[in-house]
Amino acid sequence: MDTSFRELPGLRVEVEKVIFVPQLNAPPEKPFPFAYFIHIINGSTKPVTILARKWILKDGTGEVVVVEGAGVVGETPKLLSGEKFSYNSYHVVASNSEVSGAFFGVDSAGLGIRVKIPAFTLRCPSVGK
């Protein structure tokens, strides 16, 4: 696999929705869980395989958390031209946060590809009145 990554025209990510879900498990130091619903859409002319992800969370205090790993929710989706992969997952945060990142993979020729995740905001509910 080529170790450099490039944008592939037509390959894109859509963030369908982001919702606060208080019933999800969250540790006391990060009590605000948010679910997000994502589509990876292959509008390119080449088949692609998504192999990894990188999320960057920046909270209101300036803390930056980077989450990297293999696959997407335990899968390595293969997308032919015109196909999409949809999933949902969640993040827990301590305060309002900006979220961005990218998915990484290869095209049918084994060349490294990257597709950016559009930035979105996690707005925590007010604590107290």
| 26-44: pLDDT as tens digits | 999 999 999 999 999 999 9
Name the CA dihedral angle for 3, 4, 7, 12, rounded to a multiple of 10 degrees: 30
At 126 the pLDDT is 77
**Dist CA 29 CA 125 (whole Å):** 15
Is residue 33 included in any domain, yes or no?
A: yes
Total domains in the fold of the chain? 1
At 3 the pLDDT is 56
| 89-124: pLDDT as tens digits | 999 999 999 999 999 999 999 999 999 999 999 999
Is residue 127 included in any domain, yes or no?
A: no
Is residue 98 included in any domain, yes or no?
A: yes
Is residue 129 included in any domain, yes or no?
A: no
**CATH value at residue 64:** 2.60.40.1470
**Running DSSP on this structure, what letter comes out for residue 26?**
-
| 5-25: pLDDT as tens digits | 999 999 999 999 999 999 999
Is residue 76 included in any domain, yes or no?
A: yes
The pTM of this model reads 0.90
At 120 the pLDDT is 97
Is residue 97 included in any domain, yes or no?
A: yes
User: Please, what sign has the CA dihedral across residues 33, 88, 121, 70?
Assistant: positive
Q: Is the pLDDT of residue 2 over 50?
A: no
**Dist CA 100 CA 10 (whole Å):** 19
Q: Does an H or E element contain 79, and which? A: strand 78-79
Q: Is the pLDDT of residue 129 over 70?
A: no
Domain of 99 in residue numbering reads as 6-122
Is residue 52 included in any domain, yes or no?
A: yes
Is residue 1 included in any domain, yes or no?
A: no
